[in-house]
A and B are shown apart, each in its own frame.
Chain A
Amino acid sequence: MDREPLTRDRFWKLYHDLERGRITRRRFLEVTGIGAAAAVIAACQGGASPTPGATATATPGPTGTPAAEWTPPEGVDLGETLNLTSWFNYHDQATLDRFKELTGVTVNLVTFGSNEEMLANLQAGGTGWDVLVPTNYTFPTYVELALLEPLDMSKLPNFDLARQENRFLEPAYQPPGSTTLYGINKDWGTTGYVINTDVVTGEMTTWKDFWDRTRDTYSGKVTIHDYQLTSIGNALKYYGYSFNSVDPAELKKAEELLLDVKRHLFGITSDYQPPMKSGDAVMAMAWTGDAVQLNRTIPSIQYVIGREGGEIWSDFYAVVASAPHREAAYAFVDYMAVPAVAAKDALYHGYPLVDSAATELLPDDFKNNPIIYPAEELLTPLEFGAAVTLTDENRAELWARVKSA
């Protein structure tokens, strides 16, 4: 057994190795201690007899074969396939493979680049999707269009409301304030910006810093999202307005700022990792996960959450109303609600979890990473995106004007 102490750097190196396939998942779990924790949790939950793990090719470690952390519901025909619609690099293949081992259901993953595209496809219909991973602000629209079904909690025995942090779960209650739940949390994150501190000097703490320095020192080396919600929202923060403002006068100011900034931008793109890595860009509007990945590759890349505020968001697992494989959909959502399963999956995607029992299982290096779990005082001024922010016609047209300018 490996005796080297698990430092933060070592953890990330191991994680990195794991991701690149240089070490096996079991070896990773063994060294970081997550495997043991998972096994303990599974044992406490009275897991069934051990079955060969997803890493059956690996040599057995001292932690033994991972126990079946979850058992499929009895007497339910789950079928053979399940269509999961989500984001790229957001699910560990091993998690999906394990689900297949346990149930015989093959998870067919379809990925999209934006919530709007998912919504547009689902609204158009005929998708055949079963489980969807929507972001908080889409729920009112999905529910109004009857595209998601209210969750049948009796089919989700592993989900425990007491373990959830309400601010992240809240958007899935529809209508707001009711007790009808349309989704359970997958993870959460923030929208800030990354800076390459090799080039970007001086204190950068606010959105004002971001927009001002884009227009002078770092002109031509900055990217913003190709996404009206975040780009307009964070431009509004420059003036101290709400991230979600749909007030015409406030939007006018944001538009002026964006039009002025546009000629100083390197790009309007949600694909900012390559330019940040190559040096084409030194500053970029960014989401948690990208910041984690960039920082891991180039440690001088730091993540900033604007002190004025900005966006905090949470992603969910939801069941599509027209799901052709409804039982399998519930089984999968319940499977992901198991803390050990969610924690293992988080080591792959790198986003913070909502379920406190799952968070417990995460290694300290994960929990203490300030990019993943920012200081509470930075989180306080953040706002959840509102449904109207997504669907507002004026914001959409404003964004079209900015892009075509």
Chain B
Amino acid sequence: MVQGPAAVAAPGRGRGRAVTALLLTPTSLWYLLLLLVPLAILIVFSFGERSPVGGYHPGLTLENYLRLPTRQAAFVNTLVLAVASTALCALLGYPLAYYLATRAGSRRTLLLILIALPFLTSFLIRTYAWFTILGANGIPAILGALGVSPRPVLLNTHFAILIGIVYNYLPLMVFPLYVSLERLDKRLLEASKDLGAGRWATFRQVTLPLSAPGLISGALLVFIPMMGEYIIPNMLGGGKVFFVGNALVDLFLQSRNWPFGSAAAIGLIMVVLITVSIYLFLTSRGRVQREVSQL
């Protein structure tokens, strides 16, 4: 992460150390009590057994992890849709961010605020609006009036979930992209043009690589929360598309199988951590390679 500059040589080292410790105390407490201990409890639970009336019964078994393949479909669904929607956000968000950074002119600030504004209404109400738009009285009715027959069913499909996800996560992709594109040195683009590079070549060889950091953080901002998403599939998928989030809710709140639920939660954390680490590794290696190849 971010490396701060060297510590300021404040007078009184000993007292300085005490102050530092004091400043870190609330954060340490939070990380210990609300992150590490809860995760430790989940890990302990994941090796336990379900008591006959539900909940947790102490035990030491790997069975919960061995049963994870029964939720394979949920994991696959989640990964596929998370990757697809991240890609779609990038595809839709990039031209918009590019437009805002290079061509929007004086309206830029207003247009940027307008991207963030939807976040200021309730997420649930925003998503519920799509429930109405995609339902039989919404777009299908309009298409029907235009003579499309049979009227398409949009609600409770993968398509509806994808729309809901892109709608809610697109701004998270646009902002980092905008920041990296806005910083882009215009002289580089001119140099590229002067050297006879075409539009596409300039984009591919100058703009895209230089905006890669924004693309990478945007993708992470979209992908990570997507992996735990269960409200959007719940509201727009009609219960027919099963995500890991839905599997977890069912295990904890419906069948109350806490040990299996804990194992599934640990599984989800692992999948997220591994995917993100591989992604960061690949993207950083790619960058190093490109830099090396230039020498």
Check A-B contact in the complex, CB < 8 A: yes
Residues of chain A touching chain B, judged by Cβ–Cβ distance below 8 Å, are: 114, 116-117, 119-120, 123, 141, 144-145, 220, 223, 226, 228, 262, 265-269, 274-275, 278-280, 391, 393, 396-397, 399-401, 403-405
Cα separation A269 to B235 with both chains bound (whole Å): 9
Known pairs A141-B54, A145-B53; list 11 more (Cβ under 8 Å): A114-B254, A116-B256, A117-B253, A145-B55, A275-B136, A280-B136, A393-B255, A399-B255, A400-B251, A400-B255, A403-B239
Q: How many residues of B contact A (CB 8 A)?
A: 31
Within the complex, the shortest CB–CB distance from B53 to chain A, in Å, comes to 5
- Within 8 Å by CB of A123, from B54, B73, B247, lies B54
- Chain B residue nearest to A228 (CB atoms) is B254
Cβ–Cβ < 8 Å partners of B137 in chain A: 278-279
Instruction: Determine if B43 is an interface residue (Cβ-Cβ < 8 Å).
Output: no
B124 → chain A closest CB, angstroms? 13
Task: Collect the chain B residues with CB atoms within 8 Å of residue A220's CB.
Answer: 153
Contact of A400 with B256 in the complex, beta carbons under 8 Å:
no
A262 touches B253 (CB 8 A): no
Q: How far is the CA of A397 from the CA of B77 in the complex (A)?
A: 18
CA distance A139 to B136 in the complex (A): 41
Q: Mark contacts of B102-138 with chain A using CB atoms, 8 A cut-off: 1 yes-contact digit, 0 otherwise.
A: 0000000000000000000000000000010001110
Flag if B156 contacts A267 (CB, 8 Å).
Answer: yes
Q: Mark B230-267, 1 if CB is under 8 A from A, else 0.
A: 00000000111010001100111111110000000000
The answer to whether B156 and A391 touch across the interface, beta carbons within 8 angstroms, is: no
Give Cα A305–Cα B257 distance, bound, in whole angstroms. 32
Q: How far is A283 from B72 in the complex, measured between Cα atoms in Å?
A: 31
A403 touching B53, Cβ below 8 Å: no
Some 9 contacts from A to B, beta carbons below 8 A apart, are A120-B54, A123-B256, A223-B238, A262-B240, A267-B239, A278-B136, A393-B257, A396-B254, A399-B250
Smallest CB-CB A-B distances: 9 pairs: A267-B238, A396-B255, A268-B239, A404-B242, A404-B73, A280-B136, A278-B136, A226-B239, A279-B136
Contact between A280 and B54, CB atoms less than 8 A apart: no
Interface residue? B82 (CB, 8 A)? no
Query: B165 within 8 Å of A by Cβ?
Result: no
**A274, B55: Cα distance in complex, Å:** 34
**B239–A269 contact, CB under 8 A?**
yes
Chain A residues near B240 (CB-CB < 8 A): 262, 265, 267-268, 403
Q: Tally of A-B residue pairs with Cβ under 8 A? A: 94
How close is A143's CB to chain B, nearest CB, in angstroms?
A: 10
Contact B252–A120 (Cβ < 8 Å) = yes
A101 to B255, CA, bound (A): 40
Closest A residue to B254 using CB positions: A116
Least CB distance, A107 to chain B, in whole angstroms: 25
Judging by beta carbons under 8 Å apart, are B153 and A266 in contact?
A: yes
A403 contacts B254, C-beta separation under 8 Å: no
**Does the CB pair B253–A116 fall under 8 Å?**
yes
A120 near B253 with CB under 8 A, answer yes
Partner of A396, one of B52, B71, B153, B257: B257
- A223–B239 Cα distance when bound, in Å, is 10
Alpha-carbon distance A194/B136, docked complex (angstroms): 18
Question: How far, in angstroms, from A117 to B246 measured CA to CA in the complex?
Answer: 14
Q: How far is the CB of A135 from chain B (nearest CB, A)?
A: 14
How many Å lie between the Cα of A275 and that of B160 in the bound state? 15
Q: Is B155 an interface residue (CB 8 A)?
A: yes
Nearest CB of chain A from residue B253's CB, rounded to whole Å: 5
Q: Which residue of A lies closest to B138 (CB)?
A: A278
- Within the assembled complex, what's the spacing in Å between the Cα atoms of A399 and B239? 12
Task: Evaluate contact between B256 and A404: CB separation under 8 angstroms.
Answer: no
Task: Report the separation of the CA atoms of residues A116 and B240 in the bound assembly, to the nearest whole angstrom.
Answer: 20
Provide the residues of chain A in CB contact with B27, threshold 8 Å: none
How long is the Cα–Cα vector from A145 to B54 in the complex, in angstroms?
A: 10
Chain A residues with CB under 8 A of B254: 114, 116-117, 228, 396, 399
Distance of A267 Cα from B135 Cα, bound (Å): 12
B242 CB to closest chain A CB (Å) equals 4
Residues of A within 8 A of B253 (CB): 114, 116-117, 120
Cα of A200 to Cα of B156 in the assembled complex, Å: 21
CB pair B257 A403 closer than 8 Å: no
Does B293 lie at the interface of the complex (its beta carbon under 8 Å from any beta carbon of A)?
no
